[in-house]
């Protein structure tokens, strides 16, 4: 008998709201996370559109993994969902209706910390239906280039994750999560990050309009011209600094030496939440990213529904 068989589903005890700007659109947005009935899962509702169309949070509804995870259904999209999904999943919430009045979730401080804080303020309530768990019968793996994700059967959820960007500033890092109970303190505050060489391209593509040093870690690992660095600083509304000094460009110090790897783990949990199941198993993640995360989630769904 699976020891998790009698674990019941949970939802929020009360609604919570968060307001901010979208990371890529820069547009103001408010989301309200509401309690939902059992077996509902996670669902977005675009209340800014006629008839308030809904989008089921499911890996097969992912239509883009370019810099973030974007869901689409019923002719509408919602993007940068992963930080919210990670918080709901790690806080043990099975069912939630998420009202949103724009196309992209607020980036907030670039992490899941504010979601977790708000959820803990209102707490959760136990429902009557059993929680949906997935325990693999065999080792499951998906790889794409250098990226590789492996799920090993186990009676609990854990993650070992490493990254290697071959950068003089951000090279190899490793993090380990032994249970979801560690997420709130050790991983939810880990901020998103971007390399300096990526910023100009992203700005030219009309992305990261809501990015600033309050919600991102900038990795300055490749010297550029002073005027180019000044232009980026001005665009992101941050203080100019010398182009000769490589390192992290930060508004506040790193929370942990391996904070970037911690954020990759946060993203992975958010993307795997789209399986619709809590997972029993040990995940070994090498150089994960939204694309490989989503393909791995689809692989798990195939096993779940087989």
Q: Name the residues annotated as catalytic.
A: 290
CA distances from 100 to 46, 143, 159, 261, 275 (A): 5, 34, 31, 29, 21
Q: What CA–CA distance (Å, rounded) separates 82 from 61?
A: 13
CB atoms within 10 A of CB 149: 27
What's the rounded Cα separation, in Å, for the pair 108 and 214?
8
Distance (Å, whole) CA 87 – CA 190: 12
Both tokens assigned to 179: 């249970």
Return d(Cα 113, Cα 196) in angstroms, integer: 25
Radius of gyration of the chain (CA): 19
Q: Which residues are annotated as a binding site?
A: 83, 263, 267
| DSSP bridge pairs for 100 | 31, 46
Is-contact 283 151, C-beta < 8 A? yes
Place of tokens 């659109």: 25
Q: Write the DSSP string, 129-160.
A: EEPPEE--SS-EEEEETTEEEEEEE-SSEEEE
Dihedral angle computed from the Cα positions of residues 123, 32, 29 and 240, in that order, rounded to the nearest 10 degrees: 0
List the beta strands (DSSP E) in 115-251. Answer: 124-130, 133-134, 140-144, 147-153, 157-164, 172-177, 193-195, 217-220, 247-249
Could you tell me which residues are annotated as the binding site for Zn(2+)?
Answer: 83, 263, 267
């Amino acid at each position: 008998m699976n020891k998790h068989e009698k674990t019941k589903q949970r939802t929020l005890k009360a609604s919570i709201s968060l307001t901010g700007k979208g990371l890529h659109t820069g547009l103001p947005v408010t989301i309200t996370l509401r309690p939902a009935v059992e077996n509902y899962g996670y669902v977005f509702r675009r209340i800014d559109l006629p008839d308030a169309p809904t989008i089921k949070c499911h890996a097969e509804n992912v239509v883009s993994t370019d810099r973030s995870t974007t869901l689409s259904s019923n002719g509408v999209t919602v993007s940068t969902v992963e930080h919210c999904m990670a918080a709901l999943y790690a806080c043990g919430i099975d069912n939630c209706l998420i009202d949103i009045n724009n196309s992209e979730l607020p980036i907030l401080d670039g992490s899941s910390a504010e979601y977790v804080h708000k959820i803990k303020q209102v707490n959760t309530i136990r429902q009557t239906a059993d929680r949906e768990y997935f325990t693999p019968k065999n080792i499951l793996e998906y790889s794409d280039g250098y990226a590789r994700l492996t799920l090993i059967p186990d009676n609990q959820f854990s993650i070992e994750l490493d990254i290697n960007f071959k950068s003089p500033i951000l090279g190899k890092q490793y993090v380990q999560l032994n249970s979801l109970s560690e997420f709130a303190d050790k991983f939810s505050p880990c901020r998103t990050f971007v390399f300096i060489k990526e910023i100009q391209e992203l700005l030219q593509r009309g992305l990261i309009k809501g990015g600033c040093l309050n919600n991102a870690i900038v990795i300055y690992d490749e010297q550029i011209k002073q005027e180019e660095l000044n232009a980026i600083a001005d665009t992101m509304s941050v203080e100019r600094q010398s182009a000769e000094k490589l390192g992290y460009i930060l508004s506040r110090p790193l929370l942990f030496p391996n904070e970037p790897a911690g954020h990759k783990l946060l993203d992975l949990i958010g993307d795997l939440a789209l399986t619709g199941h809590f997972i029993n198993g040990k995940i070994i993640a090498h150089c994960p990213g939204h694309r490989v995360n989503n393909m791995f989630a689809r692989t798990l769904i195939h096993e779940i529904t087989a």
